[in-house]
Amino acid sequence: MLKIGNITLEVPFFQAPLSGYSDYAMRTIAREFGAPLVFAGVMLAKSVVHPKVFNKPAFQPGDDEHPIGAQLLGENAEIMAKAAKVVQKAGFDLIDLNFACPAPKVVRRKRGGFLLNQPDKAIEIYKAVKESVDCPVTIKLRTSFDSKSYDNFWKLCSGVVAEKVDALTVHPRSVCQRFAGLADWQFLSEVKKQFPSTIIFGSGDLFSADTINNNIKKTGVDGALIARGAIGNPWIFSQLRKGDVFLPPTLEQQGRVILKHFSLVCKLYEHEKAVRYFRKFASAYCKLHPMRKNAQKATLAAKTVEEFQAAIQQWYGNEKP
Ligand SMILES: Cc1cc2nc3c(=O)[nH]c(=O)nc-3n(C[C@H](O)[C@H](O)[C@H](O)COP(=O)(O)O)c2cc1C
């Protein structure tokens, strides 16, 4: 059992915020496979305070998906605090602040990972948000802006730990590194050593249950956020829950999950869009197929809901070619 503020979780691994992916459909599948907490993709605070923008399906929490986290991005403490109130009112149970995003358009606007250059500003944002809501507030950050110095990282963490942050998630790469190189999980041991009483989660290069278990054990962190490793592979959650006795899904089981995920997507989006939007998920799911390239080709060629369903039936059903 793990507690993040007033939220109790049975197991310490969750589905990470994933812009463009972690909508209601993906979150539902992740929960069904055992993720005890899921996150919507990052939301721009400035847009959240604008009711029309906030209506996007990706950002709406369903009644059946508690606990669910929202993640906010912004550089203005007052707007971030207002946005936090809006998302809590909308039904989110936890608010995470993004001080990690390396996207150039975000960094240029002094948001996300840029705030690793401005620890005082980041701490001010955290305090404003914490005061404005009565749910847990957590922070996701990288280890530095450009790997030249880690001073700002320690300053930022010490500042929010002093203000009783509910948890810190660290993706151990620099902002400038984006996704290059390997995540430096050794750094996570140091973070946990420095802040033994704070809940620390790790994120980065988590593609298998073994890696996740080993990294948690080796570093002493409290848990992990699963990001790319959960796209097209919700079985990662059941494998983590079941441990050694996990049996990989059969093709029929994979096909059923793909069709279920797709049908949830079809409820969220107009059908032509749903087929286009689902291609990236289908492509990821197909990685588990023994004839991956052919399965990908067939599913990506589908232009309508019926064609997509037929392709899955053909490659995952009983009448495989
Ligand atoms: C497509 C995609 C979207 C992402 N969206 C977000 C996001 O909205 N908020 C966030 O904090 N991190 C986001 N991330 C970063 C992940 O949450 C995670 O920290 C990162 O991918 C490292 O974990 P991994 O190597 O196991 O994927 C995103 C990553 C990817 C690949």
Of ligand 1's listed atoms, the one at least distance from the Cα of 140 is: 11
Would you say the pTM of this structure is higher than 0.85? yes
Interstrand relation of 94-99 and 43-44 (parallel, antiparallel or unpaired): unpaired
Whether the CB of 16 sits within 6 Å of ligand 1: yes
pLDDT class of 321 with cuts at 50, 70, 90: very low
Gap from CA of 179 to ligand 1 centroid (Å): 9
d(CA 212, CA 206): 6
d(CA 136, CA 235): 28
High-pLDDT (> 90) share of the chain, % = 92
Interstrand relation of 167-174 and 137-144 (parallel, antiparallel or unpaired): parallel
Per the prediction, the chain carries an average pLDDT of 95
Q: Helix (H, G, I), strand (E, B), or coil: what is residue 272?
A: helix
Angstrom distances, CA of residue 260 to CA of 33, 89, 257, 263, 303: 13, 29, 5, 5, 18
Tens of pLDDT, residue by residue over 138-147, are: 999 999 999 8
Tens of pLDDT, residue by residue over 77-115, are: 999 999 999 999 999 999 999 999 999 999 999 999 999
Q: 4, 136 in Cβ contact below 8 A?
A: yes
Of ligand 1's listed atoms, the one at least distance from the Cα of 206 is: 26
* Vertex 217 angle, CA 72 and 229, to 5°: 50
Query: For 278-283, which contacts have Cβ atoms below 8 Å and span 24 or more sequence positions?
Result: 278/308, 280/20, 280/21, 280/231, 281/21, 281/26, 281/231, 281/232, 282/232, 282/258, 282/308, 283/232
d(CA 52, CA 74): 18
Torsion of CA 263, 268, 270, 276, to 10 degrees: -70
Omega prior to 321 cis, within 30 of 0: no
Predicted pLDDT at 164: 97
d(CA 133, CA 308): 43
Whether the CB of 236 sits within 6 Å of ligand 1: no
Give the residues across from 71 on adjacent strands.
96
Whether the CB of 42 sits within 6 Å of ligand 1: yes
Tens of pLDDT, residue by residue over 67-84, are: 999 999 999 999 999 999
CATH architecture group of domain 251-316: Orthogonal Bundle (1.10)
d(CA 319, CA 232): 22
Of ligand 1's listed atoms, the one at least distance from the Cα of 227 is: 27
Gap from CA of 228 to ligand 1 centroid (Å): 7
- Per-domain residue ranges of the chain: 2-245, 251-316
Predicted pLDDT at 56: 73
Which of 171, 175, 177, 221 to mutate to test ligand 1, by most ligand atoms within 8 A of the CB atom? Answer: 171
CATH number belonging to domain 2-245: 3.20.20.70
Q: 191, 144 in Cβ contact below 8 A?
A: no
Tens of pLDDT, residue by residue over 184-238, are: 999 999 999 999 999 999 999 999 999 999 999 999 999 999 999 999 999 999 9
Whether the CB of 140 sits within 6 Å of ligand 1: yes
Tens of pLDDT, residue by residue over 272-284, are: 999 999 999 999 9
Gap from CA of 229 to ligand 1 centroid (Å): 10
- The answer on pLDDT for 57 being more than 70 is no
Q: Which residue type, as a one-letter code, is found at position 116?
A: L
Q: Which residue type, as a one-letter code, is found at position 22?
A: S
Gap from CA of 227 to ligand 1 centroid (Å): 6
Whether the CB of 71 sits within 6 Å of ligand 1: yes
Protein residue whose Cα sits closest to atom 13 of ligand 1: 18
Whether the CB of 72 sits within 6 Å of ligand 1: no
